[in-house]
Structures are given as structure tokens and as C-alpha cells.
Amino acid sequence: MSRISREEIGKIQMVDLHTQYKNIKEDVDKGIQEVIDSCAFINGPAVKSFAKELATYNNVNHAVPCANGTDALQVAMMAVGLKPGDEVLVPVHTYVATAEVIALLQLDPVFVDVDPELFTIDVKQMESKITSKTKAIVPVHLYGQCADMEAIMKIANKHNLFVIEDTAQAIGAEYTFSDGSVKKAGTIGHIGCTSFFPSKNLGCYGDGGAMLINDEKLANTARMIASHGQSIKYHHDIVGCNSRLDTLQAAVLRVKLPHLDTYNKNRQKVANKYNKAFAQVQEIETPQNAENSTHVYHQYTLKVNNVDRDQLKEKLQEKGVPSMIYYPVPLHFQKAYCKSEFNEGSFPVTEQLSKVVLSLPIHTEMQENQQDYIIQSVLESINELA
């Protein structure tokens, strides 16, 4: 392979939403125009249609749309009836939203460290964190693959806990149980919460989210809570909030959902190429794929060993290759979530990951020569630092 120059590549982005849009422009523009023509901006017909299509795609009885992924988590916790003081197990290596809504509802987030290879909640450490106050577990399907849901459901059933899956990064991933049955991410626990933030695997053109729910009663409660606690207009039976998916966003999502599997396959192709290119590089540990889950690579996250991760990031930036750190500060060191008993060493795996993880550009429209250039830049940067 001859050396690729920066000039022939153009701007490299973590996510290329513009090229993706250009490939579906006609359908998206038509969907948006229809909403504007109808002026049904709130709860228009596209919202209902999308909810049905999303449920069908996920093979789940109900999909309840809402305003964003954070709201999905909040409404889910309200819907299962969690009360102030209840303890909720949550991985400490995650996006802040997962813990934020727990705290917001005056529940007590109980952090659990993660598996060093899979980055998802360490099921071996979960049971020791359960007390008489524990009421729920919120596994996060981080970077695009499922947490060990079979083990989690077993523990949840034994201790009578709700399971609320944060599947904001893993829509479309599939989990295989030991009996061979397969379920989509977010449809295994009581409620699965997802996000349609533009850069997510199924992203809209603003904010959006949804809950995936099999139980009809629970789905109705969640739907009511997201709509001011009403099922009949102006009759408010329970305390709710205002969390709606815009009709315009639903119209965009209806166009994109049929492409989701192709989008995820494209991400997997990019990941496989990275895996091959870095297989022999000892400074780089490529992401490990769980045995029981497919990986939809919302992020392609490396562990950088023996060279300084931050220096590598800088070198890449100099070559025009963006990279990101998910997440640079563990939740137990965040001012808002720090408890007096936390210190260096409280969650050693997460602390170590915050120093070594690095996510490379991955998206649905990655061109071969762009990825070749990224790979070349990583290899050259490592050589310069080693």
C-alpha cells in the first residue's frame, strides 16, 4: 500500500452525517415536507407510524417515543415506580445521563465497575452491591454491544429487581441466550431506553428517544408519564412530564429505520478492517466482541498500551485524524456524583480505562481511502511515540 497524502483525503470526521443525508436526501426531504404541509408538528401521524415500525423492527410489543434518550431513562424509572431512596445499580463507566436521571429522581445510584475487556457492567461484582434498598439495575450496552443480559436477568429475578436497559449506543445489536434464543438489545429487561441523537446508530436531525416495552400495562404507564400523566386529554392521573418525539424527527426516523441494518453492517465492516490492521500492533488492544452479543460499533474503542494515549490523540490530530475519549472522567470523580467514600482505586477498571481508551472515527459512509489514511496515521503516530 503506497503512502496516502492528507490532501487527497479531505476532512475526516468522527461521524459523517452529511454524506449519509445526501444518500437518502430525496426521501428525507419528502418526509419533512409532508409534515410541514400538514402542520401536524406535535403527535402527527408519523410519530405513531414510527413507533409501530420501531416495535416491529425490535420484535417488541410496544415502542413509546419520547423527546430524547435521557428522558427515556427518566420516564422508565418513573414508570416502574422507583421511589426516592431506592438504590439503582449502574456501571461507573458510562455517559453521565444514565446516572443523572437516577440522581434527579432522588434515587441512589450505586456504581459498579465494568469488565476490562468488554466495557460493560461486571456481573461478577453486582450481587455484592445489592442491599435491601436495591430496586433496579441499569445495564448500559456501551459502545454498541450488549451487557451480559442472561446473567443480569438471573440476578434481577433472584432479587426481584427491575432491569432498565440503556441501549442508546446499541440499537439493532442482538443478544443470544444459552438456549439459542435471540433478542434485540433493549428488549430483554422490563424497559429498554434508546436515543436518536444525530450521531447515534439510528439518529434523527435533532433530539429524540424511545422506550421499548413488552408489558402492556407498563407501556401504557410510560406513555402516560411522557404525556403529562394523562391518557385522556386534561385528565391527569399521575405526575408526568412533557416528553414528546417531534413529528419532523419521526418523519426522518421513518426514512432511516429501514437502513439501520445496512448502517450497522457498514460500521462492522469498518471495525473489521481496523481490527485486522491493528492485530499485530502491541501498543493497541482492539475491542473485544462479547460471545453472546453482536456488536454494532457505535464507537470503535481501542485501549492504548505502553504509549501515552493523550500524546497519540495529539499526534493524530496533527495529521487531521479526530479521535475521542469516552469517557475521560469516571462518574465517581465527577463533582455531582462523588461520595466521600470514593477515592483513587474505588473502581480500578474504570479508572484505568479513562486513561487508555481512544475511539477512532467510525460511521456509515466511511470511504476505503479515508480509513486507509486513518490506519496509516495511527501506525505512524505509534512509531513516532514508541
Ligand X SMILES: *Cc1c(COP(=O)(O)O)cnc(C)c1O
Binding site for ligand X (CB under 6 A): 68-70, 94-95, 97-98, 140, 166, 168-169, 195, 197, 207, 209
Residue 227 DSSP code: B
Quick one: 9 or 107, whose CB is closer to ligand X? 107
Nearest CA to 172 among 121, 212, 218? 212
Quick one: 75 or 378, whose CB is closer to ligand X? 75
Q: Which residues are within 8 A (CB) of 101 and not within 5 positions of it... i.e. 6 or more apart?
A: 70, 73, 74, 77
Q: Minimum distance between the CB of residue 143 and ligand X, rounded to whole angstroms? A: 9
Side-chain half-sphere CA neighbours of 67 within 13 A: 12
Yes or no: say if 31 and 254 are a contact pair by the CB < 8 Å rule.
yes
Q: Minimum distance between the CB of residue 199 and ligand X, rounded to whole angstroms? A: 8
Quick one: 354 or 371, whose CB is closer to ligand X? 354
Quick one: 95 or 373, whose CB is closer to ligand X? 95
Residue nearest ligand X (C-beta atom): 69
Quick one: 57 or 119, whose CB is closer to ligand X? 119
Handedness of CA 234, 37, 44, 228 (dihedral sign): negative
Q: Minimum distance between the CB of residue 205 and ligand X, rounded to whole angstroms? A: 13
Q: Minimum distance between the CB of residue 251 and ligand X, rounded to whole angstroms? A: 18
Yes or no: say if 166 and 116 are a contact pair by the CB < 8 Å rule.
no
Report the distance separating Cα 143 and Cα 167, nearest Å.
Answer: 10
Q: Minimum distance between the CB of residue 324 and ligand X, rounded to whole angstroms? A: 12
**Could you count the other beta carbons within 10 Å of the beta carbon of residue 290?**
20
Strands 300-304 and 284-285: antiparallel
Q: Which residues are within 8 A (CB) of 287 and not within 5 positions of it... i.e. 6 or more apart?
A: 119, 143, 271, 275, 295, 300, 301, 302
Quick one: 119 or 373, whose CB is closer to ligand X? 119
Q: Minimum distance between the CB of residue 169 and ligand X, rounded to whole angstroms? A: 5
Yes or no: say if 155 and 129 are a contact pair by the CB < 8 Å rule.
no
Q: Cell numbers at residue 2, please?
A: 503506497
Quick one: 135 or 200, whose CB is closer to ligand X? 200
Quick one: 74 or 364, whose CB is closer to ligand X? 74
Helix axes 247-256, 45-58, angle to 10 degrees: 40
Q: Minimum distance between the CB of residue 180 and ligand X, rounded to whole angstroms? A: 28
Report the distance separating Cα 108 and Cα 271, nearest Å.
Answer: 37
* Peptide bond just before 234 cis, omega within 30 deg: no
Q: Minimum distance between the CB of residue 279 and ligand X, rounded to whole angstroms? A: 28
